[in-house]
Chains A and B, each alone.
Chain A
Amino acid sequence: MGMLMGTDRNKEFLDSVGFLDQIGREATGSDLILFVESESLELAERTLAAARTRLQEYGDVSRSLDRIYLTLDAAVRQKPNANIACISIPGKFAANVANEALDKGLHVFLFSDNVSVEEEVRLKEKATRLGLLVMGPGCGTTFLAGKGIGFANCVRRGAIGIVGASGTGIQGLSVHFHRAGLGISHAIGTGGRDLSLDVGGLTTSAALRLLADDEGTEAIVLVSKPADPTVTDRILREAINLGKPIFAVLLGDTIVLKGELPNSIPCFSSIDALLPTLFTRLGRGLPYLAKLETDETDTLIEALERISRQNQRSLIRAGFTGGSLAAEAFSLLRQAGLNIESNLHLPESMSLQDSADLHQVIDFGSEEFTEGRAHPMANPDSRNRWLADQASQIGSAGILLADLVLGYGSHPNPAQALVEVMRPLFRMLKPPPLILCSVCGLDEDPQVASAQTSLLRSAGILVAPSNAAAARIAASCAKYGNDSRK
């Protein structure tokens, strides 16, 4: 049983697997196609009827809300104090609606992707003229005034401001800050392309100035996936003069390692590499670092014990729902000297060829996987099934690496979803699969991080204290497995 929006791409897929009938062919991008494979017609009809009932219930809930308007104009008239438009419609329509929102004096949180870079630049230049922010396109996370928009964890308010061209980068940072007893003032998402040569950091630059002027912000962290070096360099040089401590985390970026950025701004290539410097500067959060280290060592020892009993692990298969977490893991695996195939398009990544002897890092949130589908943080099925396929194919040679991202907007129980897919493999495969996970979340989140962690561990899945720790442990395991086979 499955559901897909009726986009051309989804219809092509359904046709290729024999699920598309005439009614499905007539579906449009705003229709939902239900499809079911079943042993009997009767069971198929019952399944579809149950699905229709659930959808009907959902529709009833939606319609019962007394705050639904047909146009942006009507909504603004009803709510003249509105200050943010959150836009998540298909990309080809999103720029027009964002433009209209700017005309009405609203900041724009633009979750939609597939918006052209030309449209992005036009929107951001207009926003700059109007004194507004365009957060996006492809913006996953923003926190303003203590409230999360998009995918966001229940983080307390505090003194650290974040500017992020990276949704899970913002989440990863803010979760660490909260666990360490700190909090965030605001976290402004910019969209993943903001630090490209074309866009020139328009939103990043505005957001840094805003946080510099914000009384509640004591220090600022800039987080991004690999960006254009000249733009990053310019933005950081401008940031030196803002009068507040600034730190940069450029996930997966090799220029950080080469030390070519202004040395007055500390730059790091992974989230937890930042923490000691930042916490020392703030004079807070240091006990948390000791706990992180202990938890990482404990997980590493447990992983190596499993490997030493089985003695044949060396190939990493990493599937991520968060793109920035994928980039962070990629960077750490590369630093460990591993050669990796990936869809991340990073300077040192090799294109995906499914080579039998190379490691893989896959970002399931990239545009080729999400067009017309839910983001994998909301529905991790495709990632989970890929992990299970990998475990089946490479068997005891595999080290599986995965993220679970909790918070508003994410799947209500991602640990259960992963465990259900992996449980049969734990029964069938001897030795069982080695899976390393990290949980980006808090006990205050709707999914409750400690409950998710317990569920994973009870199923035999190892849980590292951070994404970076999981990647480092995976790299150690791969090296150990490789050495012990020589």
Chain B
Amino acid sequence: MNPIKLPDKIVVINVGVITFLEELCKQDVEAIQVDWRPPLEDSEELQEILERLQ
């Protein structure tokens, strides 16, 4: 299936490098930022602590 058409206007959710949000705002693009953080399960140290608690 094809998208109906290309957008007439873009509204962006930026996840990651904040410079991209700033550059979009400079172009008057409606944009917001997600303050993304690595998931906790990626922290081996925290995982070990949780396992010890269980």
Complex contact A75–B11 (CB within 8 A): no
Bound Cα distance from A109 to B17, whole angstroms? 13
Interfacial chain B residues near A214, Cβ < 8 Å: 5-6
Complex contact A85–B33 (CB within 8 A): no
- With A78-B32, A82-B32, A206-B2 already in contact, 5 other A-B pairs whose C-beta atoms are closer than 8 Å: A68-B34, A84-B7, A86-B15, A150-B20, A409-B20
Which residues from chain B sit less than 8 Å from chain A, CB to CB?
Answer: 1-21, 23-24, 26-27, 29-39, 42-43
Number of interface residues of A (CB under 8 A): 58
Bound Cα distance from A210 to B14, whole angstroms? 24
Bound Cα distance from A148 to B42, whole angstroms? 33
Complex contact A86–B1 (CB within 8 A): no
B24 touches which one: A72, A147, A209 (CB < 8 A)?
A147
| 3 closest residue pairs by CB, A with B | A88-B16, A408-B23, A67-B32
A133 at the interface (CB under 8 A from B): yes
A178 at the interface (CB under 8 A from B): no
Bound Cα distance from A132 to B7, whole angstroms? 11
Complex contact A79–B5 (CB within 8 A): no
Complex contact A75–B9 (CB within 8 A): no
Given A65-B33, A144-B6, is A408 in contact with B15 using a C-beta cutoff of 8 Å? no
Complex contact A29–B13 (CB within 8 A): no
Interfacial chain A residues near B36, Cβ < 8 Å: 89, 93, 97
A149 at the interface (CB under 8 A from B): yes
In the assembled complex, the CB of B54 is this many whole angstroms from the nearest CB of chain A, namely 23
A128 at the interface (CB under 8 A from B): yes
Given A30-B38, A85-B15, A131-B1, is A409 in contact with B23 using a C-beta cutoff of 8 Å? yes
Complex contact B33–A87 (CB within 8 A): no
Complex contact B2–A86 (CB within 8 A): no
In the assembled complex, the CB of A155 is this many whole angstroms from the nearest CB of chain B, namely 11
Complex contact A209–B2 (CB within 8 A): yes
Total A-B residue contacts, Cβ distance less than 8 Å: 141
State the main secondary structure of chain A at its contact with B: mixed
A28 touches which one: B9, B29, B43 (CB < 8 A)?
B43
Bound Cα distance from A409 to B36, whole angstroms? 20
A230 at the interface (CB under 8 A from B): no
Given A69-B33, A148-B27, is A88 in contact with B11 using a C-beta cutoff of 8 Å? no
Bound Cα distance from A79 to B30, whole angstroms? 9
Interfacial chain B residues near A131, Cβ < 8 Å: 1-4
A378 touches which one: B11, B19, B29, B30 (CB < 8 A)?
B19
B7 touches which one: A67, A130, A144, A209 (CB < 8 A)?
A144
A112 touches which one: B16, B30, B38 (CB < 8 A)?
B16
In the assembled complex, the CB of A217 is this many whole angstroms from the nearest CB of chain B, namely 9
Interfacial chain A residues near B6, Cβ < 8 Å: 144-145, 186, 210-211, 214
Bound Cα distance from A88 to B24, whole angstroms? 14
A261 at the interface (CB under 8 A from B): no
